[in-house]
Structure 1
């Protein structure tokens, strides 16, 4: 039985498309290259932070309206979130778009380190490319539906604040993906891959300690240091690390610790992340983290409270879809540099040190397989609401790490736009396959239902809190 199921799944990945489009979908995406490049560069220039992406979301909505999409703005209580839709009936295919930048990582498109003083934020995770590529794909899919008269709807989901704001989680919690047959997404990367890659569940919070201020030399006995509370918690968490499983990741920063050494601080704050491949284990670890905060407060004579900032479930892999996406990516091919781009990429590569990889690998498609990614994404919550599949493309110079200045530079360069075009083509071909093949949709849904289990009930790691619209202010 397992052998039959494997053969059936492989057949889905190699069966020729059942549709006969009046135009070449890849050529249709090529025709939109100017739009992809223009939108990607504009979003890169703005580099707006999570939940503050007003100009970015307005630009995307304007482009979609001009193509006949109907826009629903401000969904899930988030001003910069939206849903754009074209078509009627079903099936419904959703394409995700992200567009928030990261703070504190400014960089020009120079191949050497060059901070831009007027731009404190940067697209170090390529979300400007994510949005532009998804926009192009959604429009190409809409044009194919219209030209062929194929029934169905295409939606583009404008999803803000992926970087620590969990925009998609609030959208999933609001049920915005419940009637979607399949959700498609992609991400900037240093390689081309459609591997079945899962991620870590994640929860974060700011822990705020309150003490009593006093003169640190003249009356120390009257004070209770809030910073002592933060440091005591950090010490206990660092001791806790040894007694956690291998997939556990715990990170923190001290965001506020006082202003002067001779004033005992009456307020201090730390920001914690807890990650694990299993969402329930994150919940267990989180209970232990809260205990360290309580213990630190008791031991230092301070008070503590905390605010959950974001939380994501892990990506639920759908191999039925991933194998077909892999075939589509191979049909498209990778990223080919011009001589000028290759020269620029070679300079970037020198800055990567031992992490550098051959430039020609940007043209290759990585072998298909299953893997665990140690990052986290709010796409995870979408993947528990509907069958979801993604792809990564070589928008960055091979060997580039996300959240680096090299990633910012490439995300604003023509190399980045080329990678976005590759993604748009793969997403378009995948959507056409899904519209044309009810058997594929059914198989994906069957795997999805089996993976979730009969008794599955969606639980957000955010609880019932409202979106933290000011978390980047």
Structure 2
């Protein structure tokens, strides 16, 4: 049975759809990447202030983070949050064909899973709960956090270490669906695992000492001289060594991943000069911390070896140390109950026509029902848990990666997922990445996700505010799980890693553009657009 308070919140979400749909598209179109989400964060801060929240911009020493609070009197404090970081290399127009957003390189940022909808679902849910609290006299406090750089599990370990989650009674984590069976459901026992990420910075600051007799003549940089290898060579050496040594980091059991990206490389010159600086980031996702320590012990050795071979020094800079997640069945039950009230998302005729247009663009026969069935179906958390456990070893307690996990040590928490438009594929066919990116920006195909998320969050906030017994069950379970786990303190012991060469948009005489300028190929894709 739906309470009057929840009916008010659900009506708010429905009535405000035109506004929040436009807001969501705006954040999607900004597509700012990790640690550089300046305009996205500014938008949220301004909106929150306009809604009567007190806001701390730049929370935790992170320029694109924020912490906001709205209170309606004494009562529980429940938190939701926005993410808004996009992914480099995924720039896509919100349409049914492949093209970058106007004036940009196709290698610019783009929302993939999409955090634009994650943030908007949570924001609208918080506003809907606030509206119901004011109308019905529900007392309590809503906290709303801005969490940048999730793609490198950036802000939440830092916020946790600086006390931003202390004193909460409960918190809610939402993500658009990205893998089955986590679609229109909540996590039950198996939560996301821990994560380490670090930048290895190689510096070649004394190239003149490479070889005693290498310099022939008064100009050390002469093309007749054997120059020092330098920082680019160090990055290549570490990259190659680390690929070679993967089999010697961990045994072949369980699910773990090691990824890397080169952030900087010696500047754009091919002169006979040693590259002075280059940086490579490694990120590891594992079921437990001991596995992370093994991986980075090998990486540290590889870095020292690469530096020695290339006449460099090396420095290691932590980007993230993020704890695994703690389950809370009581929170999952409360949230799933409100998801049932909201209902699974429904993708109507406009969404179907969009999907069929994409299929025609890809020379496929348009399907009468182009979406996978699961995105419009609820699955109980216990059933999703049963299915996921069939795919991983019995000893493995955590699976996949996200930094909401750091929050779960500070208050009872839930992690839930809402279906998003996902196309059926004919046998043997795989859709290109741009398809999902486009579907995340087209209102007809992303608004149903935002709507269900907002209603679920609003209903969950209200139930936690009003049902003291339910909240106490969640808090008691959290205390028990902390005791069993040892109440692990935040692992973050580093400064916010904001001063590294993260990809970003820049202002030039050509206007605002990605740091990699648009090319003739990008302009050709724009010129061949259909509308």
User: With structure 1 as the length reference, what TM-score do the two structures score?
Assistant: 0.86
| Residue in structure 1 matching 2:235, options 230, 252, 263 | 230
> Which residue of structure 2 lines up, in the alignment, with residue 52 of structure 1?
36
Deviates more, 1:91-100 or 1:287-296: 287-296
Is residue 97 of structure 1 aligned with residue 85 of structure 2?
no
Instruction: Please tell me the root mean square deviation across aligned C-alpha atoms, in Å.
Output: 3.0
Is the contact made by 1:195 and 1:367 (CA closer than 8 Å) also made in structure 2? no
Question: For the residues of structure 2 that align with 1:156 and 1:402, how far apart are their CA atoms?
Answer: 36
Is the contact made by 2:62 and 2:496 (CA closer than 8 Å) also made in structure 1? no
Q: Deviations over 1:307-356 (max 9, x none)?
A: 22233222222222113322322222222222221021234467699xx9
Deviates more, 1:260-269 or 1:140-149: 260-269
Q: For this pair of structures, how many residues does the alignment match?
A: 453
Is residue 129 of structure 1 aligned with residue 117 of structure 2?
yes
After superposition, where does 1:33-432 map in structure 2 within 5 Å? 33-87=17-71, 88-119=73-104, 120-164=108-152, 166-189=154-177, 191-196=183-188, 197-211=190-204, 212=207, 218-220=224-226, 222-243=227-248, 244-245=250-251, 246-258=254-266, 259-260=269-270, 264-348=274-358, 358-368=371-381, 369-370=384-385, 371=388, 375-398=400-423, 404-414=433-443, 415-432=445-462
| Cα distance change, pair 299–467 in 1 and its aligned pair in 2 (3 A) | closer
Deviates more, 1:187-196 or 1:285-294: 187-196
Displacement of 1:402 in angstroms is 12
Is the contact made by 1:189 and 1:402 (CA closer than 8 Å) also made in structure 2? no
Is the contact made by 1:105 and 1:124 (CA closer than 8 Å) also made in structure 2? yes
Q: Deviations over 1:240-260 (max 9, x none)?
A: 322314333111233445543
Question: For the residues of structure 1 that align with 2:133 and 2:195, how far apart are their CA atoms?
Answer: 37
Q: Secondary structure at the match of 1:154?
A: strand
Is the contact made by 1:250 and 1:272 (CA closer than 8 Å) also made in structure 2? yes
Unaligned runs of 5+ in 2: 209-219, 393-397, 505-531
Question: For the residues of structure 2 that align with 1:446 and 1:403, how far apart are their CA atoms?
Answer: 46
Is residue 436 of structure 1 aligned with residue 466 of structure 2?
yes
| Cα distance change, pair 111–133 in 1 and its aligned pair in 2 (3 A) | same
Is the contact made by 1:346 and 1:359 (CA closer than 8 Å) also made in structure 2? no
Higher Rg of the two aligned structures: 2
| Cα distance change, pair 63–319 in 1 and its aligned pair in 2 (3 A) | same
Question: For the residues of structure 1 that align with 2:409 and 2:436, how far apart are their CA atoms?
Answer: 29
Q: Deviations over 1:245-278 (max 9, x none)?
A: 4333111233445543865544433221122121
Is the contact made by 1:165 and 1:467 (CA closer than 8 Å) also made in structure 2? no
| Cα distance change, pair 349–425 in 1 and its aligned pair in 2 (3 A) | farther
Q: Secondary structure at the match of 1:131?
A: helix
Q: Secondary structure at the match of 2:495?
A: coil
> Which residue of structure 2 lines up, in the alignment, with residue 452 of structure 1?
482
Displacement of 1:388 in angstroms is 1.3
Question: For the residues of structure 1 that align with 2:311 and 2:116, how far apart are their CA atoms?
Answer: 47
Displacement of 1:394 in angstroms is 2.1
Question: For the residues of structure 2 that align with 1:261 and 1:445, how far apart are their CA atoms?
Answer: 63
Q: Secondary structure at the match of 1:465?
A: coil
| Cα distance change, pair 465–60 in 1 and its aligned pair in 2 (3 A) | closer
Displacement of 1:427 in angstroms is 0.8
Question: For the residues of structure 1 that align with 2:291 and 2:191, how far apart are their CA atoms?
Answer: 16
Q: Deviations over 1:431-462 (max 9, x none)?
A: 122112222222222222222336424132x4
| Cα distance change, pair 205–325 in 1 and its aligned pair in 2 (3 A) | same
Is the contact made by 2:10 and 2:128 (CA closer than 8 Å) also made in structure 1? no
Question: For the residues of structure 1 that align with 2:91 and 2:6, how far apart are their CA atoms?
Answer: 45
| Cα distance change, pair 262–156 in 1 and its aligned pair in 2 (3 A) | same
Q: Deviations over 1:5-27 (max 9, x none)?
A: xxxxxxxxxxx67x553844322
| Cα distance change, pair 323–114 in 1 and its aligned pair in 2 (3 A) | same
| Cα distance change, pair 263–71 in 1 and its aligned pair in 2 (3 A) | closer
User: With structure 2 as the length reference, what TM-score do the two structures score?
Assistant: 0.77
Is the contact made by 1:208 and 1:270 (CA closer than 8 Å) also made in structure 2? yes
> Which residue of structure 2 lines up, in the alignment, with residue 11 of structure 1?
none
Unaligned runs of 5+ in 1: 1-15
